[in-house]
Amino acid sequence: MFILEKRDGYYFAKVSGKLSHKDYIEDLIPKIESALADQTENKFIMDITEFEGWSEIRAAYDDFKTGIKHRKDFEKIAVIGDKRWEEFIIKTFGLFIKAKVKFFYTENNDEAENWITK
């Protein structure tokens, strides 16, 4: 499941469960692209603590492809997670996009919000 809501100064996204190709095509990509088209906010906090991965390799490719397509469109991305491998993946992803990307462990949610709004 993918939830996206506009907050004061940024968008907040929560990803939970396993994501499929259909989830990306019908839900996640349209919401992200609509938010980016708004052009008033291009800062995002993504909570992936309940994300269980992808149900198919095609969905993982959709994730990668969307990130690369919009690599110049984000200003800042804060990712909240609870696993060291998530931190590694996020830091690696950050090397390929223009945005400032930072990983925060779950217990540091407030720090993520403070960082994204500066």
Computed over every residue of the chain, the mean pLDDT equals 93
Place of tokens 């995002």: 44
Is the pTM higher than 0.85? yes
Burial call 3-14: b when 16+ CB within 10 Å, e when fewer: ebeeeeebbbbb
Residue 99 pLDDT > 80:
yes
What is the per-residue DSSP string for 30-59? HHHHHHHHH-S--EEEEEEEEEEEESSHHH
Band of pLDDT at residue 106, cut at 50, 70 and 90: very high
Q: What is the pLDDT of residue 38?
A: 80
Domain boundaries, the chain: 2-28+40-117
Torsion over CA: 34, 87, 8, 41 (sign): negative
CATH for the stretch 2-28+40-117: 3.30.750
- For 46-69, the pLDDT digits (tens) are 999 999 999 999 999 999 899 889
69 alpha-carbon distance from chain centroid: 14
